[in-house]
Structure 1
C-alpha cells in the first residue's frame, strides 16, 4: 500500500482474514513499528481470535537480513533512478526482485537447535525474575 498507517494495516489484516481458510490459525510476524501497536489493532485482535501477533526483537538478525535486502534494492536500483510514475517505480522494483531471485537468492536453512533457543529464553526469564 502506498501509505503505512494503522488504517492500511487494518485493511491488510482484513484481507488476510478473508483469504485464509476458515478454521485455520493466522500468525502475523511483526517488527516493533508503532503502526502495529495502537489500540485499534488490539481491538481488531479481540474481534479475530484466530489471529496472533508475534513481535520480533528490534535487533533481530532476521530483520537485519530484510533491511539488508532493501538496502541492496535501494543502492542498485532506486538511489539514482528516475521514475516518472508510481508504475515506473513498481516496475523497477519488480525487475530487481526477478533478477535477484534468478541470480542471487538462496533458500534459508534453519540451523539453530530449538531446544537451545528455548533454554536461552528460559535463562533470560530467570535472570529477569531474580533480584539484583
Structure 2
C-alpha cells in the first residue's frame, strides 16, 4: 500500500489517540527570559479527556481528524462516516489500521458491507510502527499537547483542531523507504521476541 498504492483510490493510515487529557497547571508558568529557562509546575489538575480519531493520507500527508468523547465502535462508525463524506465518491478507500476489537464489531461489518468502496487492512499485532499516522500523533504530542495548559476539554479540542488545520495548510507526505522484505523480517523478529517473553512468563 505504501510502495505501490492502487489506482483510483486513496490510502489512509488510521488510528485513535485515546484518553488525551486536558491538564491545567496548578500554578502559572514562568516565561522564558534572558538567563532563565521557562518553567512549568509539575502539579496539574485533570479537566477531562477526549479521543482523537485521525486518518493520514499517504500520498499527500493531509489528515482527516475528529475528536470524540469515547473510544468505542459507535465512535469508530462516526469517524468512518466522516471519511466517507471527505473522500470523493469515485475513489476507493483503503484504510490501514490495527486489529482492535472495535474495528471488527458486527455493526462496523454491517456498515462496511453497505459501503463496499471501503477496504480495511490490519497491521500485524505489536506493529503499530507500520502505521504512518503514529508519527503524526508523536508530532502533535510534542508540538501542541505536552506543554499545553487546558482548562477544559473544549480548550484541548481547540488546540488539537488548530494543529490539525495548520498541518493541512502545508502538508508533507511521509515517504516510506523500507522494502517489503525488510518490513516482513522486522515483523518476524518482533513476533519471535514476543513469543520468547510470553514463554518465559509462563515457565515456572
User: 1:3 Cα shift?
Assistant: 1.9
Q: What's the CA shift string for 1:19-62, capped at 9, x where partnerless?
A: 32223211112122222111111111111111111111232423
Please report the TM-score for the alignment, with normalisation by the length of structure 1: 0.60
Unpaired runs of 5+ in structure 2? 1-67, 189-204
- Structure 1 CA distance for aligned equivalents of residues 155 and 79 of structure 2: 24
CA distance in 2, matches of 1:10, 1:59: 23
State the match for 1:15 in structure 2: 82
Tell me what 1:31 maps to.
98
Higher helix share: 1
**For residues 45 and 70 of structure 1, what CA distance do their matches in structure 2 show?**
26
Q: Which structure 2 residues correspond to residues 73-92 of structure 1 after superposition, within 5 A?
A: 74=141, 78=145, 81-92=148-159
Question: Equivalents in 1 of 2:132, 2:90: separation in Å?
Answer: 33
- What is the deviation of 1:80? 6.5
TM-score relative to the length of structure 2: 0.43
Q: Cα distance 1:52–1:90, how it changes in 2: closer, same or farther (>3 A)?
A: same
Higher strand share: 2
Correspondence for 1:61: 129
Q: Determine helix, strand or coil for the equivalent of 2:74.
A: helix
Conservation of the 8 A alpha-carbon contact between 2:132 and 2:174: no
Number of aligned residue pairs: 116
Residue of structure 2 in register with 1:128 after alignment: none
Deviation at 1:81, TM superposition (A): 4.8
Higher relative contact order (CA 8 A, sep 6+): 2
Q: In structure 2, do the counterparts of structure 1 residues 16 and 73 end up closer, same or farther at CA, with 3 Å as the change threshold?
A: closer
Q: 2:177 & 2:142 partners in 1: Cα distance?
A: 30
- 1:43–1:95 distance in 2 versus 1, CA, 3 Å: closer
User: What is the CA-CA distance between 1:9 and the residue it aligns to?
Assistant: 1.2
Instruction: State how far apart, in whole Å, the 2-side matches of 1:109 and 1:80 are.
Output: 28
**Quick one: distance in 1 between partners of 2:131 and 2:106?**
24
